[in-house]
Every structure is written in C-alpha cells, then in structure tokens.
Amino acid sequence: MTIMMMRTKNSLILASSSPRRRELLAGLGIPFSIIKPDIDETQYPDEPPLVYVQRLARQKAQAAAAQLESDAAVLAADTVVILAADTLGITPDGVILGKPVDAADARLMLQRLRNKPHIVCTAFTLLHKNSTHHQELSRFVQTIVTMRDYTDAEIDAYIATGDPFDKAGSYAIQHEGFHPVAAIEGSYSNVVGLPIDEVREAFMELGLLESKKSV
C-alpha cells in the first residue's frame, strides 16, 4: 500500500491567532509556528468587501514576514461574512458583518442572517521569502451559506454560551448546540476560517510542499 505523505521544505509561520485556523492547518500534518500580526484592520471608505478582505490577508502576511530574520513561508488569512446588498440575490458588494461588539450586536446579526443566504469569503496570502527570492500568492474563496429559521430563544441561548463574540457574523458553523446553518454551496472549511484544499494547492504551486511515498 502506498501512502502519500506531505512535508514542507521550509519553516512555516501562520500569521493568525485563530484557533480554528490552527486546527485546520494542523490537519495537513505540517509543523508551523504562530505570529499574530499587528495591523490596522479598519475598512477604507467605499472599499468593497472582497477588496478589503484580500488587502487584510496580504498586509497580515507582510507584517508577519517583516518580523522574521530567517527564511520562511508565511500564511495569513482573513474571513468576512457578507450580507446581500439587496433582497434579490447574493452579491459581493453587500455589507460586512464583522465580530459583534456585544450581545445586542450579536443578536441583531443573527436575526438579519436568519433563514437567508449570505456569502462567507476567506482571502489568504502565502508568502515565501529567502535570501534569493520573494514569492507571494493570494487567493480568495467564497461559500454561499443559508441559515436555518432558528428562533429568538435559540439565538439568546447561543449568545449565552459566549461563542459568537470572536466570530465574523456572530456564528460558528460547527457549533454543536446551535447548528445555525441549513445549507452551504462551496467549501465547508472556508466557513470555519480557512479553505484548506485551496491552501494545500497554493503550497504545491509555490513548491513548498512535496509528496513522499512510503509503503
């Protein structure tokens, strides 16, 4: 029996403190360290959501790379929940729902999302620098998420768990008690916080992963 093993050729830095991204990246079996980049995440006036999230991913990767003295690959990502700009369909030009500031804000977000579709977009940047060259690859992945018709009582019970407060859009798709999502179109891991299949492909594209056969 032949098993394909993946291993990195370079040290890897995850430029994120998100526990969900840590878990997803660890699932690839790649050793990595963590640097939390310190950048201003304010959205520019009239900056479209997709432009905003891609800019943040690039800036996070660059900020983390600037702290390194040795050769390394840096992976940074940012996720936004985009509420449709109109009632006729989902567009990438809608309103960003970020992390809630308090329980009332979380309740409002979950009520706005209830029984409707929205977009979850994660942008990531993979940056590889060493003494001879600099490579940078950016991608973004969109998933359409339709929420179920949960009740106000269910919203309040979920908020009481404290889970919504570090989540874009005030929810986690994987929460075992709330189960907020009725259906998705696209990548599940993207909604969790990192589109892992696309990240793996990016590693391969930049030559940062190689396959090793073992019997």
Task: Give me the half-sphere count of Cα atoms (radius 13 Å) on the Cβ side of residue 112.
Answer: 23
Cα separation, 167 vs 118, in Å, equals: 15
Buried b (16+ CB within 10 A) or exposed e, 68-81: eeeebbbbbbbbbb
Asked if 8 and 73 count as a contact pair (C-beta separation under 8 A), the reply is: yes
Is residue 34 a contact partner of residue 14, using CB atoms and an 8 Å limit? yes
Angle at 49 between CA 164 and CA 140, to 5 degrees: 90
Largest CA distance in the chain: 58
Residue 17: Cβ within 10 Å count:
12
Catalytic residue, from 38, 46, 71, 78: name it.
Answer: 78
- Is 93 one of the catalytic residues? no
Residue with tokens 């060493």: 130
Token pair of 97 as six digits: 């729902």
Question: How far is 133 from 63, CA to CA, in rounded Å?
Answer: 18
Does residue 193 come out as left (phi exceeding 0), alpha (psi in the -120 to 50 range) or beta? Answer: left
Q: What residues are annotated to the active site?
A: 78
